[in-house]
């Protein structure tokens, strides 16, 4: 099954797990499965059903925004990562 790596600040919502197995045919379905498994994580990823702008999702080393975004297909061995944006100056 596909998996998603959870960044340290969000692990408190996944019971401390650094990586979670997800199911779905697309990245969007996989993210929704993640939120189904861990509902407290939902508000940190989505707002009004739309992925928050500062939540970057990578499939391997590719930012999904430059692929097919949440419609990007997931293979059974896909590895996703959530990478929160960091502001600075």
Q: Is residue 51 part of a domain?
A: yes
| DSSP assignment string, the chain | -EEEEPPGGGGGGTTT-SEEEE--SBHHHHHHHHHHH-GGGHHHHEETTEE-TTEEEEETTEEGGGTTGGG-B--TT-EEEEEE-----
Instruction: Domain count for the chain, please give it.
Output: 1
Residue 16 included in any domain: yes
Quick one: pLDDT band at residue 45, thresholds 50, 70, 90? very high
85 vs 32, which has greater pLDDT? Answer: 32
Predicted pLDDT of residue 83: 92
pTM summary value: 0.92
What percent of the chain shows pLDDT beyond 70?
97
Residue 72 is assigned to a structural domain of this protein: yes
């Amino acid at each position: 099954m596909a998996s998603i790596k959870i960044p340290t600040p969000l692990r408190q919502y996944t019971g401390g797990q650094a990586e979670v197995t997800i199911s779905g045919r697309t990245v969007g379905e996989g993210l929704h499965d993640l939120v189904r498994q861990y509902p407290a994580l939902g508000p940190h990823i989505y707002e009004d059903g739309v992925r928050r702008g500062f939540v970057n999702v990578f499939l391997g080393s590719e930012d999904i925004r430059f692929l097919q975004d949440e419609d990007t297909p997931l293979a059974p061995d896909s590895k996703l990562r959530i990478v929160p944006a960091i502001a600075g100056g």
